[in-house]
Chains A and B, each alone.
Chain A
Amino acid sequence: MVNPEEEKEEFFKEEQELLNRFKENITQNLSLGRITEEYKLLGSKYDALLRQTLKLMKIGDSNQRRLIRTQNELQATNLKLELTYNNLKSLSQLGQTLTSSLDTKEIILTINKHIQGIMDSEIITIGMYEEEKEIIKYKFLVKNHKFTPSLASETLKEDNFSSRCIIEKKEIIILDIETEYPNFVENSQKLWDEKLLSQVYIPLQVEDRVIGIFSVQSYNKDAYNINQLSILRTMASYVAIAIDNADAYKELSKKNKQLKEQMEKVKILNDKLEVEMDKSETLLLNILPKSIAERLKKGENIISDYFEEASVLFADIAGFTKMSSKMSSQEKLVDILNEIFTNFDKVTNKYKLEKIKTIGDCYMVAGGIPVPNEEHLIRITEASMEMIEAFNKIQYELQIDIGLRIGINAGPIVAGVIGKNKFVYDLWGDTVNIASRMESNGMIGRVNCSDYVFQKLNHKYIFEYRGELEVKGKGPMKMYFLEGKK
């Protein structure tokens, strides 16, 4: 910084020198003439100094005024900036509110709330463009700041502000309808009120699609300035996004609902199907052993398995045919057969044997298939005795004249399923034929066994040897009645 005293001396060098000389002179005894001279000189300098000071004062003042003016201008600019900032802030808040609302009524009411105080808005409306019908429906209207149901619509086929706005994808700004309407349309038409002098129509666009019109109107002329128009444009872009979102949401909700309904239907169908599947599964398992059913389901067409040793039992109801010709009711007959076989089924299940089939009044069961089992012959033997017991009980209860013959054999067997329709798990081989012969050569109330069975079970069971009996197609064969456990 410059020292003020030095600065003074520098700035007013001449004056300072004069003053110093004067001070010096005045202390000396100078002549009056000389003093007068000095005074004159000092006076003229003083005069010049006063003049300069006055100038400086005035210049200083005007400089100050200038500064104050600049400051005021800056303040005004700041205020404007602040206002713009606030507008922007409230616009971006509006944007957030709008874009997150999914209902057009809510959208227009939000705009109504925000727009008040910023600009005139006697009419705020959102028109939805229906492309297929070529119309713009102004369903959403806020008139004098109140939501008013509206049925107004305009068609693209006519020349009006809305159709211009949609077709040309351009905003229409009218600040005095009386003088400006010919710039846009041939005939001035006022959709809502004769007195709406300022009208702004902004197309609602999402990318390239026009989805509607956002319009704000006022009773005053020149109601909208550049700033307000730019606010309206920003609002329009938010509205477009919001409505598009709302549409997408509605569409999504609709699809969702449809999907839910479809799923509901599918679920019902599925449930039904499951019940049906369960039924057919049960049926299948009634016909086929579980492991065989699984194999068929997996795609095996022909199943034929060889078993080194399995046992076969035939149980035939003797006298049934005779009885059936006497029975008045066929149904009763079937009931009796059903009861007997149901009891046999229980025995079969108890000993984990495989029921093969019934042929008329004959019941066929096997052991050691389809899952080989070392105990199969013992099991089938025990079963045979229980079958006779069960049969006798029924016969006693019903007092009917029938008898049960059982034959058992064991040996190698082929088991499987052949054919495509009405398939059944069946057994083939000599072992099966012999078992059948054991039954037919047996006696009522007895279990007739082959020599093979006797050889296998002799150590555990008591047998009555019957001798060799002639078997059709086989010749003489040793046979044994099962007496019971040892």
Chain B
Amino acid sequence: MEKIVIPKTKSSPEIIMDYKGGLLEIIGESYPENSLAFYKPVFEWLDKCIQDKVELKVNFKLNYFNTSSSKCVIDLLDRLDKYFANSGIASIKWYYEEDDDDMMETGEEFSSDLKVPFQLVYY
């Protein structure tokens, strides 16, 4: 499966899906008109990886996202958590700007109740 890159737009983040390296990156701002439709390919890719037991690394580097995007992120994380619970290998990194306490807090909220490794990283 080839590496898929969805370029960023004004309202949607850049998404990199590298099946070989098991890498998923979501970078930028996320407030597309239809979040579910926008993230649908990501879910499909993730399901395929989970099915194939790929070792997954997921990086979030988001500056801003709307509520429906956060629902999608929660669903992604839940799916990863379930995969991890079923002995799949996955790790998540949540990047935030150094003095952006709110974004760090948001990361903490996302990670609460999760078992899958979740790391907060500032840049």
Contacts and interface: CB of A to CB of B under 8 A. Distances in A.
Contact of A60 (B70, B100, B103, B113): B70
Nearest to B105: A62
Contacts of A7: 36, 68
Interface in B7-64: 33-34, 36, 64
B34 A63 contact: no
A62 B109 contact: yes
B71 A2 contact: no
B36 A11 contact: yes
A56 B36 contact: no
Given A2-B34, A62-B109, A56 B102 contact: no
A108 B100 CA distance: 48
Interface string A37-75: 000000000000001100110111011011001000000
A261 interface: no
Nearest to A60: B67
B36 A55 contact: no
A66 B74 CA distance: 19
B112 A55 contact: yes
B67 to A, nearest CB: 5
A58 B68 contact: no
Contacts of A58: 109
B103 A66 contact: yes
Interface residues of B, number: 21
B6 to A, nearest CB: 19
Nearest to B102: A66
A55 B71 CA distance: 9
A55 B110 contact: yes
B68 A63 contact: no
A430 interface: no
Contact of A59 (B33, B34, B109): B109
Contacts of A51: 113
A1 B34 CA distance: 8
B106 interface: yes
Contacts of B64: 63, 66
B102 A62 contact: yes
Contact of B70 (A1, A10, A63, A69): A63
A2 B33 CA distance: 8
B112 to A, nearest CB: 7
| Interface-central residue, B67, B102, B105, B110, by most chain A CB under 10 Å | B102
A63 B62 CA distance: 12
A2 B67 CA distance: 15
Contacts of A55: 74, 109-110, 112-113
B65 interface: yes
Judged by DSSP, the binding face of A is helix
Contacts of B68: 7, 11
Contacts of A65: 102
| Interface-central residue, A56, A63, A66, by most chain B CB under 10 Å | A63
B71 A56 contact: yes
A59 B106 CA distance: 5
A56 B103 contact: no
A69 B71 contact: no
B106 A56 contact: no
Interface in B93-123: 100, 102-103, 105-106, 109-110, 112-113
Given A65-B102, A69-B102, A59 B36 contact: no
A51 B77 CA distance: 13
B102 A59 contact: no
A59 B105 CA distance: 8
A62 B67 CA distance: 11
A59 B103 contact: no
B100 to A, nearest CB: 8
A56 B67 contact: yes
A349 B94 CA distance: 127
Nearest to A70: B64
Contacts of A60: 67, 70
Interface string A3-42: 0000100110000000000000000000000000000000
A55 to B, nearest CB: 6
Interface string B55-92: 00000000011111011001000100000000000000
A321 to B, nearest CB: 131
Contacts of B103: 62, 66
Contacts of A59: 67, 70, 106, 109-110
B74 A63 contact: no
A69 B105 CA distance: 14
A417 to B, nearest CB: 105
Contacts of B36: 7, 10-11
A103 B74 CA distance: 73
A281 B60 CA distance: 111
A63 B71 contact: no
Contacts of B112: 55
A249 B78 CA distance: 82
A294 B68 CA distance: 112
Nearest to A58: B109
Contacts of A11: 36, 68, 71
19 contacts: A11-B36, A11-B68, A52-B74, A55-B112, A55-B113, A56-B71, A56-B74, A58-B109, A59-B70, A59-B106, A59-B109, A62-B102, A62-B106, A63-B67, A63-B70, A63-B102, A66-B64, A66-B103, A69-B102
Given A10-B36, A59-B109, A69-B102, 12 more contacts: A11-B36, A56-B70, A59-B67, A59-B70, A59-B106, A62-B106, A63-B64, A63-B65, A63-B66, A63-B106, A65-B102, A66-B64
